Amino acid sequence: MTTTANLLERLSNCRVLVVGDLMLDEYRRGHVERISPEAPVPILSVVGREATLGGAGNVVANLRSLGMRVTVAGVRGEDATGERIVALLQRLGVDGESVIGDPERVSTRKIRFVSLEHGQQVFRVDEESLHPIRGTVEKAIVDLVREGASVSQVILCSDYLKGLLTKNVLNAAFVVGRERGIPVIVAPKGSNALIYKGASVLMPNLKELSRLVEAPVDGDRWLTDSAQRLTAALGLDALLVTRGSDGMSLFEQTRSGLRRVDIPTMAQNVYDVTGAGDTAIAAFAASVASGASFETAAYLANVAAGIVVGKHGTATAAIEEIRSHFTDQDRRPAERYGAAGALRTASAQ
């Protein structure tokens, strides 16, 4: 029987293809001590700066933190921000040559100005292009998807609505996934559910699920009904819904119908939820790539997310931190929790 330790050890032998919107997250931290005489706004005296990968780049960072090998298919503007994104990927040991330069785009950059006194943002500045990629750039991404899938165990599509995941790019991922028999996992941001038809697994949060089914969040029964409608409409193998402090709910297709598994949150202390969704989908995809069931992968994703929200700022969960939650004698997480009664498994028919 596969133990959690064995599963984690296999991660370094697996590769995930990440197709998604790459960003640069910059932070300017400083002190707010007075109001501007020019306008009723605070003056931030900057004392520190840092830059990290955001969006699909943060997913890549989380995968690398787990020891995964990663191939990226992305786009950037031909600008300084794009060069920094590539440099940060290379620093992680990821080939930046598959990030296509597009002279018609501005690389996505989010600059957050943070007050050290208050521990929160004062304001944010965004630089980005939102129009869909097209022409030779789109064709190059499609070619990269087909090439990258040939050496990967999972395709992960990270959608931040910045224009990379066009219908053609998504379809290419879905087609090659079916051809090669590898799962395609999507983090959806759009409201057009049909564009994701062909995916193996969708992993939205409650707000994203609400947009996809075009109905406001309305309790537990709404969650089950919405999952049933969406999985049927899109032909999904599974839907994994992240629910914040309520943990996650997995809806998986079985021979007897749609099975629901609720996984309680593993977070002990919550300091910052920034990037927790990226951590969760990275850990889920990594686990699936290593041969875990969707249920086991969801449990490990929940553990990883619980670790990250206990840290300040955009962070990752290291494989050593996840391993510390288990022993070599652990059975599969679903069995372990089933025995303790912490997982609720029910028919969603």
**Among 185, 302, 324, 312, which Cα is nearest to 246's?**
302
Identify the residue whose tokens are 């297709």. 253
What's the chain's Rg over C-alpha atoms? 20
- Nearest-angstrom CA–CA distance, 342 and 235: 29
Catalytic annotation present for 220: no
Query: Phi and psi (nearest 5°) for 144?
Result: -65, -35
77-110 in b/e form (b: 16+ CB < 10 A) is: bebebbbbbbebbeebebebebbbbbeebbbbbb
**Secondary structure (3-state) at 204:** coil
> How many Cα atoms are found within 13 Å in the side-chain-facing hemisphere of 248?
31
From the candidates 126, 272, 278, 330, which is the catalytic residue? 278
Identify the residue whose tokens are 């690398």. 64
Query: Phi and psi (nearest 5°) for 94?
Result: -110, 135
> How many Cα atoms are found within 13 Å in the side-chain-facing hemisphere of 151?
10
- Nearest-angstrom CA–CA distance, 157 and 41: 39
Structure token pair of residue 194: 């049909």
* Residues taking part in catalysis: 278
